[in-house]
Structure 1
Amino acid sequence: MRIGRRDLLAGAVAGAGAPALARAAGPERDSPWACGFDGQRKPDLGDGRFLNPLLAGDHPDPAILKDGADYYMTFSSFDSYPGLTIWHSRDLVNWQPRASALTRNIGSVWAVSLEKHGGRYFLYVPVKASPNTIYVLWADHIDGPWSDPIDLGLHAHIDPCHAVGEDGSRWLFLSGGDRVRLAADGLSVAGPVEHVYDPWRYPEEWDVESFSPEGPKIVRRGGWFYMITAVGGTAGPPTGHMVIVARARSIHGPWENDPGNPVVRTRDETERWWCRGHASLVEAPDGSWWSVYHGYENGFWTLGRQALLDPVRWTADGWFRMTGGDLSAPIAKPRGGSAVPHGQPLSDRFETLALGRKWNFFRPAADEADRVRVSGGVLELAGRGSAPRDSAPLLLTAGDQAYQFECTIEIDAGATAGLLLFYDDRLYCGLGFDAERFVTHQYGAERGRPPNPHGRMLRMRVVNRRHIVSLWTRGEEGQGWRRFDRGMEVSGYHHNVRGGFLMLRPGLYCAGSGRARFRDFRFEALLDVPEH
């Protein structure tokens, strides 16, 4: 991947030399992407075209719902809570977060199904827990309140998809080509799990992670039911994950495989998007059809599986084909629909507590929300545990290849706090401090305790410039930035090294017996991006 040369727009802070990096300050930036809040990349180019990713950063296993003129989408949230944030759009390109449907920790949330039936919204939610199971939640409004999760007792499957048959029967299609009938209200199962489909197999010489038929999505169009399935594994080799299709005249089958399978696959590791799969179909406001699925960005496993949008063409014999190629070039937007502002600012003045919409706890306890409060522009966080691994840090999803974030932090006696790049509880890095010493976080461990000259309050900055990380601190206002004497390289902080299907996320933490107060959190995307 070529790296373009950039003018460095930001000079050093007097006296100490702050990181001199180009800011993403407007549409004139030398970049293939448009610029949104905090300089973050956004898909809409403003000229009738868009450029993937649709939603940058980790937005895996997209579940999309067309509801009149509105579109709603949510994603696997794994160990982040509040989870299952609902996103809203009216044109399929610009999306805004609304509210989270899941507030109680029920386990690691995998690929869900978001549906509307009989005027009621449903979420079918598989979790990795003890035991694994599938829950259902329901609401009469998309923003909730959502019901408490109801356990369906399905312990051997993942990735449910709700479907309604031509006879009005309700079903959950499951991983492995199986399905189970639902009761009329959709809140319990009404029969045994049965095997109904043998997924298409790829040639054995292809480089894949595993067969793993999962993520079925059912759509009905033109007298056919289409079953869209992911095979080849989620990560592993860049050419592994793919999309296959089968169809049937009845929800009860028989299912015939598309002779053109796979309909989506990364064929070469030089392509911009790797491991493309887990697709859904949706009709745009202008009647055109589109597919939303996920993929890893070439060279950036650390950003997780990002949401992608691909135009669809229907063939004369009733199959469909994706037409966006490798998704490296701009694509004409669907017509119609009014655009909402895309994304959200990640900078935070802490005027409100945006839990679930912006911030999420990692693997929280039942009373985790009691640790945090916002008042007068301050986020106050009580300490938990002894280090980031057991402190349930607060995290953001950032989708840029290069960015920095900073915050003023004040701690009580007995507290240790700081800023992080956090994959999971065994793989993270960053910097913390107590009243006397810093603590260096690297490789998911605490590796150094040099003296802290700033005392119990300082401003801290983390710069992640295409995997090269630097840490900076500053004392009282007017003092210069000091570069912390430990640099890091984090390109290996990702699923193919650690597992877990997550991404490397910016965040903050507080451990120990005291509290920390965070003020003026600033996020800024940087211009170090590949040329288009």
Structure 2
Amino acid sequence: MTIKSSIALLGLSLAATTLPAQVWRADQGDGTYRNPVLFADYPDPDIIRVGEDFYFITTTFANAPGMTILHSKDLVNWQIADHLMDRLEGNPRYDLSDGGDYRRGFFAASMRYHKGTFYVAVSPIGLNTRIYRANSPTGPWTYTELDRHAFDPALFFEDDGQAYLMTSIGTDGTVTLLTMNEDVTKITASKVVHYNKGAEGSKIIKRAGWYYLFNALPSKLALSVSRARSLQGPWETRPQIDDTSGGHQGALVDLANGQWAGFVMVDAGSIGRMTNISPVYWQDDWPIWGTPDAPGRVPDRAPKPIMGHPFAEPPASDDFSASTLGLQWQWNHNPDDRRWSLRERPGFLRLHATQADRLWTARNTLTQKGQGPGSRAIVKVDMRGLRTGDVCGVGTFGKISAQLSIVGSDKGRRALTMMVTDSTEDGPRTETRVASVPVSGQTLWLRTDMDFVRDEGRVAYSRDGRKWTGVGDHFPLKFDWRTGTFQGQQFALSCYNARPDGGYIDIDSFTLSPLPEAVEEARP
């Protein structure tokens, strides 16, 4: 399977279907599903089963709250259960100081359940590995820090309760087994047990007396599996699948009926890295992805692993009437909680201008994932609180950050400005700034379109929510792990000012919908 070819065939035909939140619906309603199960950036998956429930933890880098945990009954219909941490701890850069920690932070966690406790092993970049634990997947979570950094750690509990971590880093491929103490707070032994050139993203399962070690091979965009009769080895390794046949980082999860399913991440262009679910069967005690009729590839469409559960999805649209932000929202780093509120004006999200000279260094930029194959965000704002120098608006955030912002100036004048910034290894640089469009009054609607088939976006505004005027030309959508945020393109709400005495913008609603096939609007 190739995601791009699947997208091209589907086009934007989903525009005629109205869904409550997601643009893409994996559950076909006829006992089958299609991949990806979530058409958005949910990278570095680890999925476990606890009874009849599945839990999926995914990478969020420097976003806060950090490390999203999803829940499903059937591996197809997912909802957000919670996040591992409300705020990121241990590095002042998590507060967006000294350029922030974009592309770093927390990623590639390993989740396990043992004797009534949920465990998560995760290694923040530049810090020692942490073992989080809780009695519920919704927390509260506490953690213990170990005495070393274990890259992409794989947590595993033996049948007798002994805990281990397996770790390797792609720049090498040496696979090391770390033995843990009884309460999983310390490493008591370390031993090199295998070598698999370029291997990282380790995951371990056990079946029928065999241990299986899954590893991503990023340089090849491929997934390998190794097996042994003992965690100490010797291990023998075989290729599994790659991004042309389904993905390159993942493993297997067991079903209650004794069958197995595979989960795997695939690089999919500007939308980021998405997770596919695949049937898996066994041949000579080796796992084979797909079906006997089509072995060695993740199917575009397949029977649901578990039947009978209703459609479910993460939230997306928001009228900001709740007392807390929806679980779909994440700040670009730890927020300054003094500079935003849901209570100052009930029914609105108030973003006070944070002091910054550009979007990249502005705290309190609120993001959620772009959704494929194409999605449209419409934000209704009240701009009466803006002051001179405020830059407040909506757009994309990531490798390409394109913001349609209302800029406050002297004597209460306001103008719309569209700015496109491309992130490089040396930091973001401004590529395009569109001449200002004067606006007045109280209410304005701002719109951002992201088309992941064509890898391009567009912004527009409206004075009445019906008649739209485009600002600027189409801009590219991109993904690059070396630059930007190491995430797919996100929708972003922002408000900043180079001066410390900025005002605020009130956001009435954020509405996400499928992207219409044809986008027509007037030009200023």
Report the TM range for the smaller structure's normalisation: 0.7 to 0.9
2:200 to 203, 214, 222: 214
State the SS of the aligned residue for 1:389.
helix
Tell me whether 1:143 sits opposite 2:130 in the alignment: no
Tell me whether 1:428 sits opposite 2:440 in the alignment: no
State the SS of the aligned residue for 2:360.
helix
2:506 to 497, 501, 517: 517
Counterpart in the other structure of 2:313: 343
Contact 1:58 1:502 in 2 (8 A): yes
Give the gaps of 5 or more residues in structure 1. Answer: 7-20, 27-34, 202-210, 234-239
1:373 to 336, 342, 347: 342
Contact 1:383 1:511 in 2 (8 A): yes
Counterpart in the other structure of 2:298: 327
1:407 to 360, 379, 389: 379
2:179 to 178, 181, 186: 181
Give the Cα–Cα distance (whole angstroms) in 2 for the partners of residues 348 and 22 of structure 1.
25
1:494 to 472, 479, 485: 479
Counterpart in the other structure of 1:65: 48
Question: With structure 2 as the length reference, what TM-score do the two structures score?
Answer: 0.82
Query: Structure 2 vs 1, CA of residues 305 and 277 (structure 1 numbering), >3 Å: closer, same or farther?
Result: same
State the SS of the aligned residue for 1:127.
coil
Counterpart in the other structure of 1:468: 456
Query: Structure 2 vs 1, CA of residues 121 and 428 (structure 1 numbering), >3 Å: closer, same or farther?
Result: same
Give the Cα–Cα distance (whole angstroms) in 2 for the partners of residues 345 and 137 of structure 1.
26
Question: With structure 1 as the length reference, what TM-score do the two structures score?
Answer: 0.81
Give the Cα–Cα distance (whole angstroms) in 2 for the partners of residues 141 and 286 of structure 1.
24
2:128 to 127, 133, 139: 133
Contact 2:117 2:134 in 1 (8 A): yes
Query: Structure 2 vs 1, CA of residues 70 and 22 (structure 1 numbering), >3 Å: closer, same or farther?
Result: closer
Counterpart in the other structure of 2:273: 305
Cα distance per residue 1:128-160 (max 9 Å; x no partner): 2xx33311211111111111x4321323x3111
State the SS of the aligned residue for 1:495.
coil
- Output aligned runs, 1:163-312, within 5 Å: 163-175=156-168, 176-191=174-189, 193-199=190-196, 211=198, 213-233=199-219, 240-257=220-237, 261-267=238-244, 276-297=247-268, 301-312=269-280
Deviation at 1:101, TM superposition (A): 1.6
1:481 to 457, 463, 468: 468
Tell me whether 1:438 sits opposite 2:416 in the alignment: yes
Give the Cα–Cα distance (whole angstroms) in 1 for the partners of residues 135 and 10 of structure 2.
52
- Output aligned runs, 1:30-69, within 5 Å: 36-38=19-21, 40-69=23-52
Tell me whether 1:100 sits opposite 2:62 in the alignment: no
Give the Cα–Cα distance (whole angstroms) in 1 for the partners of residues 258 and 226 of structure 2.
23
AA partner of residue 422 (structure 1): F
AA partner of residue 190 (structure 1): T
Give the Cα–Cα distance (whole angstroms) in 2 for the partners of residues 102 and 496 of structure 1.
24
1:123 to 111, 120, 123: 120
Q: What value does the CA root-mean-square deviation take over the aligned residues?
A: 2.6
Deviation at 1:265, TM superposition (A): 1.7
Give the Cα–Cα distance (whole angstroms) in 2 for the partners of residues 89 and 479 of structure 1.
37
Give the Cα–Cα distance (whole angstroms) in 2 for the partners of residues 52 and 386 of structure 1.
41
Contact 1:416 1:511 in 2 (8 A): yes
The structure carrying a bigger strand percent of its residues is: 2
Contact 2:376 2:449 in 1 (8 A): yes
Query: Structure 2 vs 1, CA of residues 356 and 64 (structure 1 numbering), >3 Å: closer, same or farther?
Result: farther
1:507 to 489, 492, 504: 492
AA partner of residue 416 (structure 1): V
Query: Structure 2 vs 1, CA of residues 197 and 4 (structure 1 numbering), >3 Å: closer, same or farther?
Result: closer
Counterpart in the other structure of 1:397: 369
1:416 to 375, 386, 391: 391
Contact 1:286 1:334 in 2 (8 A): no
Contact 2:65 2:334 in 1 (8 A): no
Paired residues, number: 465
Give the Cα–Cα distance (whole angstroms) in 2 for the partners of residues 144 and 173 of structure 1.
25
